[in-house]
Structure 1
Amino acid sequence: MNPLDPLDPNASATPIQPSAGARIAGSGVGDGPGPAVMAAATLDGNKVISSDGQDLGKISDIMLDVRSGRIAYAVLTEGAFLGIGGTLHAIPWRSLTLDTDRKCFQLDATAEQVKSSPGFDKDHWPAMADRAWGTSVHQFYHREPYWEATRSVVESDPATRVDPTSGI
């Protein structure tokens, strides 16, 4: 059974692909290129709200996986006062929803869960490229690691798949 086969009565009209990025909610379109494509710098400083409505802090950095070109994590700064102190948390990008109406991110975790998550300070960052560390962070937030999340899309989409035999 092929979900896109026009002769299959159970086929879907549109392909179902797993989302590899943050979700977007709200009616706000805004000026310029957003919200589907945005400069990372425009997201720095955005407030993050927990699933139970608590203000968790702000996005201080967006971490890119340079080799794959994917967003790996958003770094949440929690508990800082006037930019001083606070605990940093790596948040899997897929755990966030950009709320264009409230101009903030919503995190799919409670405030208590975030407080109990492994954090770090600005002078002692973890090795974010370490797959074991990354897997534990993604497991904490009940998300598939970002490097696995798009594998099926890349492998099944001829437009994004690289054929090693083609010489391209």
Structure 2
Amino acid sequence: MNVSSENIRATRVEGTEVRNSAGEHLGSVNDLVIGKRDGKVKYAIMSFGGFLGIGEEYHPLPWEKLTYDERQGSYVVDLSKDQLEGAPRYAREREFDWGDTESTRRINDYYGVPPYI
């Protein structure tokens, strides 16, 4: 499938490295959350920590907080490792409930973005 350079297939986004603005590796994109009605990407789920999938945590990052660095082929988020430690997350064993408006509000509040409607 031929996709223009401004677009990317979701399967190519998954696994892409996420770094902070200091260049430190934070994790990688594990999944994307897409709005059912508008079809827009709302969140990138970043996997963080763990070893071979054990102890790994998942951090929902509002999509608008990520920028793509073409030079490095990775996404960049303005977030330190300490800030990431305090960010909303869930464990691999427990699926996040995207229908829980309180949980999604906490994510958006933490990152300072307005709620998605």
TM-score bucket of the superposed structures, by smaller chain:
0.7 to 0.9
Distance 2:13 2:5 in 1: 10
Instruction: Give the 4+ runs in structure 1 shifted more than 6 A.
Output: none
Unaligned runs of 5+ in 1: 1-31, 148-168
Aligned mate of 2:7, from 19, 37, 44: 37
Specify the alignment match of 1:79 in structure 2.
49
Q: Are the counterparts in 2 of residues 59 and 74 from structure 1 also a CA contact under 8 Å?
A: yes
Distance 1:52 1:46 in 2: 17
Distance 1:70 1:123 in 2: 27
Q: Does 1:88 pair with 2:63?
A: no
Distance 1:91 1:49 in 2: 13
Q: Does 1:98 pair with 2:68?
A: yes
Distance 1:137 1:108 in 2: 15
Distance 2:19 2:110 in 1: 18
Shift of 1:67: 2.5
TM-align CA RMSD: 1.6
Shift of 1:92: 0.4
Aligned mate of 1:107, from 62, 66, 77: 77
Flag the 1:37–1:146 CA change in 2: closer, same or farther, 3 A. Answer: farther
Q: Are the counterparts in 2 of residues 51 and 111 from structure 1 also a CA contact under 8 Å?
A: no
Q: Are the counterparts in 2 of residues 51 and 109 from structure 1 also a CA contact under 8 Å?
A: yes
Aligned partner letter, 2:70: T
Distance 1:104 1:118 in 2: 22
Report percent identity of matched pairs: 27
Distance 2:44 2:33 in 1: 6
| Deviation string, structure 1 residues 49-94 (Cα, Å, up to 9, x no partner) | 0133321111000111222312121000001323333111000000
Q: What count of residue pairs does the alignment treat as equivalent?
A: 116
Specify the alignment match of 1:128 in structure 2.
98
SS at 2:91 equivalent: coil
Larger Rg: 1
Please list, as runs of the form range in 1=range in 2, the aligned pairs for 1:152-167 lying within 5 A after superposition. Answer: none
